[in-house]
Structure 1
């Protein structure tokens, strides 16, 4: 039943539209009734189906309610006065402070106004952003947008993450009107927890200052990962230890274990009116309830992330059952935790943490159960076992026979007995140590095998050094770093400082070891894989369960065959003489992936750290997810940051055989590419090459010295296949370059697909240029409600008047154009629609 409910919740999150509140409410009630009757009359199959319908209907009702608050389109980017209070942990960033704001009243008097908005407070000189804390009440003006995130093929949709957190609008604090702090702060249990977490973070930052791994200590203490450095993330990802950077189920379980021991110790010594505590309530029951209670406190510090919720609900279900005299199976406890997590958060199924957490625990339980079935019975500590030991020991009886008198015999007998018992204890300890090592290795093997397909699906890689790194990282974090961090939380200032310093010193030792491990296996530490298709993922997961089945399970030796679609996916090459262009959705900027049958080219790499980190967050992950391990060419059209900023991240992630760019001679990107073994060449008109029957030709700039502003120097690339279908990639050229290209060779501009110049600005896409190109399809790479107001309405109207098929990344997400004998345009938000899009 519980698994059927979870299946129904997951299926709802795959829908493009919601079935309606009334229909879902009725379906939910009917499913519950049918399920109760079917359980007794029609068997388990109908019962599970009814549970799935109930889960689907329940998630749909929750979605309808969650989507009801909304920001009307006509109020986007308008100053709206808001009164409310700060929630959660404000996040200091380079641009300002990002925080959640719960709205109590809005100046526009709108009904169903978003209750929770995410704001960025950007300081404007000479005014600095104030120190924000949970519960502070403010009246401020905000310029809001509807929740919108990048939408790309093979990458996770960020909009569902906003929906999960209840964020129904995002924006910035407008300083057109001075924000005003209200006297009375908001109160409540959630805000009290948020303030507590904020105080702890502040204490750690004051103690550790600029320590390199301070962010990990903060993450282990309060679950806030914003302060973790990029270098630490890179090492953790390379060694498969990223799960240790947050308060996970492992850490909560450790705290719960300590709490159980402490509660049991205290309860045994409590006496009420002459009656001992254990006589009133059994000590194990008190220990179980204490463990669940302290787990709830630590989960609250973690912000109730999915792994923390899973551990908390498992402990709670077990504790409640144990108090009432029941010993539920571990699998049933896990199933109940799964159902409770989805009842509280139906959108959890869209996050990697949900799948990795629950599958890891399922693998551990499966490994333990299998080990229990095939393990030999542990030796007992009794006389029979010692007698068996004596029978196998040929030395001690000879020593005893050598005694010459009764006293000597008695002494020898006593020493012999002691020696035998010492030998037995040592052998028993060795047996337990061996059993523990074997059990740990078996569990690590099971978790690695079970999570590998999911890791490949979510992150397009499998860390091969993960098992070795986790073998020493997990106990080191669990028994050294985490206890020291917890000690710092419990101790008052300034006594907490030594504990935090010890935790950081221990963490530094671990990070140094992980760095050496990653460097030693740099060439093979990560196994890059394209994102598997649903069939390949399902087959690999089934194969993992098959391989972990108990000894004697039929055809276990054949389980590795189920991994073939994952590790050796069937190629889906682009036909010879054809090409594909994918225009990524990276907000304001440009990144285009051009593929032929056996080659790949990236034209521009989007913004970098100075803006949205699109090169690191979107472009590089997309290349990995599609199986592109090396680029035959990286073309950087010009030096503007929204085109060139992401190039360093691309060079660091995938191999680049040649950098072709229009950049000043002193630009750091040239030396960066050469250090990584790339050939470098300045792009110039007249350059051309052929890949797989597809012709690539540079039309601009001229071969002479670069002159004018960067937009005037931008590379223009034309791609043409054997059927005569072509695409024109124009970067940020403007009207002057368009006129020059027309004067040089008007016919060379003719193309079926046009990547619109300069994002559709009013300084480009002139009438003569469009008449020369005569495109059938055009793609605008623009950011949602961008500050440049691209595309210009007049320019956009020029395209529409010509009947050109249009795609805008702010409305359609990524666009994919397949150019063979015909032109096929695919818009991501149409072909991969989900009900939360455009709400």
Structure 2
């Protein structure tokens, strides 16, 4: 579970910015969110796998101040209840009780509480495809809505009590009172959501805007943005690592800019609709580079859906949910909620009738260079008189991309812990060697590593080969098949991956792939691994699976197809493999050990490391270096290491 560390070695930690840890605890008492726990923990630095072009868990953990992993030492544990947590828990239970019989309870509950833990993955994915997942993340939109509701409630109450409060309100600015009422409701909303990061940031922006609105005389909008940004960064400079910061502030800038250039010559429903359409188009265009950079894709129908969804959320859903929640304190409003739920459910079901292919488009990697050049272009076009110069940043990025030399083919060894997952790619086509491990018979690296990487790089997999049926090599098979890759086994596993691979020589876009004959008189699964040699005539790669020294001796006896530029160490660097004679025969310039960080087998074995060192072979391990990419050019190759290329300086140590 995720815990906040209030004391370490009896020393109190920062209450404003406490560190967190993911820990394992032993307790006979039921643990609940918000409990105060005293126990002894053995802490280690938080660390996870590191791969290119996929979700960076280490960076996310750091931005959320999750600095440690830990396990309980001994049996001492003391648990007490926390009053603030009990209030939030009671509120969430209250909301859940009101809407638990509703079909769209999964939508109402997170809107009112900020807790999305009860949503299924498919529901979250569906909202992302429609381009409306931001509607469930408590942010500026929700804080603004709650402020508006509180503002109008306060104004209505003050109007109803006008005859009682008029004598002493004549000296006050009623707008400030209304705004205070709105801010208090927004603050209560953020408090009951548990002060989640996005909500707290939006509340801070609202506070800055209100202060400047009532006390400043010029540059209201832009000054409030700058003040809010400074406050956010003073509180937590590392919020710069959070994509939400860029989305929220960019959205506010876009809204302020649109409102500053639109002339409000007409008033009425048509004018409001026109303004909303212009705002939504501007937000879609302005946030598109961020969406491509962080999510490698964009919702095709997001623009149209948001034109309808945001007004419905702002004028119907949120006010109705707040009203139902308050009325439920005094009355039974289940029938009203039932009618509301039925109508909204009908509208949502109509939306789900849209085919999946029209909802979301996956794109190739959108680099930081393209992100910066896109916003430079937008800035020049929108804020300077030299609009034609807006073509310059895009043109520079375009020529830089196309003039850079491109590799002829590439080898990627993914960081999957103790296991093997390898991709060989050329001309946008992929050859997969092994599918990585499976954990608890459920969790694999297919969904969060391999498939996202293939999508981001625009690689179409044509061939898959399984070296042998050990779980650390074939663990992702079920998930791989779920993604529709059955056909990729037809070339080398015509009878299925369980029956072993088909030996022979194959051409893969002018790469020669040699699958060696199976082992003779060796009964172990490891020694029956499919040994594959891939060559372009100049550079080559040898993938030997988990073979031992016995199978290595058989390969040496055949005296062909072993010499390689790059070797994936047999059996992850185990001392049962990588004999001196085998290393000498392969004569690699580079060896890659696919291993787990501080794994239980402590691989690669120190004697194996020493043997490769004796042959002057460059050694890399996925545990230490993350995903290893080797790009082969016509006359040279380059080695790229994910943990060094994509880690900030404060995360490398």
Cα distance in 2 between the residues matched to 1:642 and 1:185: 42
**Superposed, which structure 2 residues align to 1:822-833 within 5 Å?**
822-833=636-647
**Superposed, which structure 2 residues align to 1:378-777 within 5 Å?**
378=266, 432-487=268-323, 490=326, 491-492=328-329, 508-509=345-346, 511-517=348-354, 519=355, 522-545=356-379, 562=394, 570=402, 574-575=406-407, 578-607=408-437, 610=441, 612-628=443-459, 630-646=460-476, 658-659=488-489, 683-691=501-509, 693-699=510-516, 701=518, 711-723=526-538, 725-743=539-557, 745-777=558-590
Q: Which residue of 2 aligns with 1:171?
A: 70
Cα distance in 1 between the residues matched to 2:220 and 2:62: 34
Aligned partners of 2:22 and 2:66 also within 8 Å: no
- The alpha-carbon deviation at position 325 of structure 1 amounts to 6.7
Q: Which residue of 2 aligns with 1:385?
A: none
What is the DSSP-based 3-state SS (H/G/I as helix, E as strand, rest coil) of the residue aligned with 1:632?
strand
Q: Measured at CA, do residues 433 and 755 of structure 1 come closer, stay the same or move farther in structure 2, by a change above 3 Å?
A: same
**Superposed, which structure 2 residues align to 1:124-143 within 5 Å?**
130-140=30-40, 142-143=41-42
Deviation per residue, 1:774-820 (Å, 9 max, x gap)? 32211122232334433344444433444321112222122111334
Q: Measured at CA, do residues 100 and 442 of structure 1 come closer, stay the same or move farther in structure 2, by a change above 3 Å?
A: same
Aligned partners of 2:514 and 2:561 also within 8 Å: no
Cα distance in 2 between the residues matched to 1:205 and 1:710: 52
Aligned partners of 1:99 and 1:119 also within 8 Å: yes
Cα distance in 1 between the residues matched to 2:309 and 2:253: 21
What is the DSSP-based 3-state SS (H/G/I as helix, E as strand, rest coil) of the residue aligned with 1:604?
strand
Deviation per residue, 1:560-611 (Å, 9 max, x gap)? 9949968996486745xx4311222233333222122453223233346845
Cα distance in 2 between the residues matched to 1:574 and 1:213: 50
What is the DSSP-based 3-state SS (H/G/I as helix, E as strand, rest coil) of the residue aligned with 1:727?
strand
Equivalent position to 2:114, from 218, 223, 227: 223
Cα distance in 1 between the residues matched to 2:403 and 2:375: 21
Cα distance in 1 between the residues matched to 2:362 and 2:465: 23
Cα distance in 1 between the residues matched to 2:604 and 2:29: 32
Which deviates more, 589-598 or 213-222?
213-222
Aligned partners of 1:619 and 1:650 also within 8 Å: no
- The alpha-carbon deviation at position 634 of structure 1 amounts to 3.0
- The alpha-carbon deviation at position 757 of structure 1 amounts to 2.6
Cα distance in 1 between the residues matched to 2:547 and 2:351: 47
Q: Measured at CA, do residues 653 and 310 of structure 1 come closer, stay the same or move farther in structure 2, by a change above 3 Å?
A: farther
What is the DSSP-based 3-state SS (H/G/I as helix, E as strand, rest coil) of the residue aligned with 2:34?
coil
Q: Which residue of 1 aligns with 2:145?
A: 254
Deviation per residue, 1:485-525 (Å, 9 max, x gap)? 445654459958778777765664454233222x1xx4454
Cα distance in 1 between the residues matched to 2:522 and 2:349: 48
Cα distance in 2 between the residues matched to 1:557 and 1:652: 48
Q: Measured at CA, do residues 502 and 593 of structure 1 come closer, stay the same or move farther in structure 2, by a change above 3 Å?
A: farther
Deviation per residue, 1:674-706 (Å, 9 max, x gap)? xxxxxxx96322142242x3211222547x9x9
Q: Given the alignment of the two structures, is residue 284 of structure 1 paired with residue 185 of structure 2, yes or no?
A: no
What is the DSSP-based 3-state SS (H/G/I as helix, E as strand, rest coil) of the residue aligned with 2:435?
coil
Cα distance in 2 between the residues matched to 1:475 and 1:597: 46
Q: Measured at CA, do residues 160 and 442 of structure 1 come closer, stay the same or move farther in structure 2, by a change above 3 Å?
A: same
Cα distance in 2 between the residues matched to 1:581 and 1:738: 23
What is the DSSP-based 3-state SS (H/G/I as helix, E as strand, rest coil) of the residue aligned with 1:178?
strand
What is the DSSP-based 3-state SS (H/G/I as helix, E as strand, rest coil) of the residue aligned with 1:587?
coil
- The alpha-carbon deviation at position 255 of structure 1 amounts to 0.7
Cα distance in 1 between the residues matched to 2:649 and 2:309: 41
Aligned partners of 1:213 and 1:228 also within 8 Å: no
Q: Given the alignment of the two structures, is residue 364 of structure 1 paired with residue 181 of structure 2, yes or no?
A: no
What is the DSSP-based 3-state SS (H/G/I as helix, E as strand, rest coil) of the residue aligned with 1:349?
helix
Aligned partners of 1:121 and 1:173 also within 8 Å: yes
Q: State the TM-score, normalized to the length of structure 2.
A: 0.86
Cα distance in 2 between the residues matched to 1:321 and 1:110: 36
What is the DSSP-based 3-state SS (H/G/I as helix, E as strand, rest coil) of the residue aligned with 1:748?
coil
What is the DSSP-based 3-state SS (H/G/I as helix, E as strand, rest coil) of the residue aligned with 2:262?
helix
Q: Which residue of 2 aligns with 1:119?
A: 22
Aligned partners of 1:638 and 1:661 also within 8 Å: no
Q: State the TM-score, normalized to the length of structure 1.
A: 0.68
Stretches of structure 1 lacking an aligned partner (at least 5 in a row): 1-97, 379-430, 671-680
Aligned partners of 1:726 and 1:751 also within 8 Å: yes
Q: Which residue of 2 aligns with 1:4?
A: none
- The alpha-carbon deviation at position 311 of structure 1 amounts to 2.5
Aligned partners of 1:639 and 1:663 also within 8 Å: no
Aligned partners of 1:697 and 1:718 also within 8 Å: yes
Cα distance in 2 between the residues matched to 1:654 and 1:513: 27
Cα distance in 2 between the residues matched to 1:588 and 1:155: 19
Cα distance in 2 between the residues matched to 1:567 and 1:646: 39
Aligned partners of 1:698 and 1:717 also within 8 Å: yes
Deviation per residue, 1:359-378 (Å, 9 max, x gap)? 12211222222212xx5x23
Aligned partners of 1:121 and 1:129 also within 8 Å: no
Aligned partners of 1:122 and 1:172 also within 8 Å: yes
Equivalent position to 2:190, from 286, 299, 303: 299
What is the DSSP-based 3-state SS (H/G/I as helix, E as strand, rest coil) of the residue aligned with 1:747?
coil
Aligned-residue CA RMSD (Å): 4.1
What is the DSSP-based 3-state SS (H/G/I as helix, E as strand, rest coil) of the residue aligned with 2:135?
helix
Q: Which residue of 1 aligns with 2:648?
A: 834
- The alpha-carbon deviation at position 314 of structure 1 amounts to 2.5
Aligned partners of 2:628 and 2:641 also within 8 Å: yes
Stretches of structure 2 lacking an aligned partner (at least 5 in a row): none
Q: Measured at CA, do residues 811 and 131 of structure 1 come closer, stay the same or move farther in structure 2, by a change above 3 Å?
A: same
Cα distance in 1 between the residues matched to 2:171 and 2:8: 52
Which deviates more, 814-823 or 247-256?
814-823
What is the DSSP-based 3-state SS (H/G/I as helix, E as strand, rest coil) of the residue aligned with 1:170?
strand
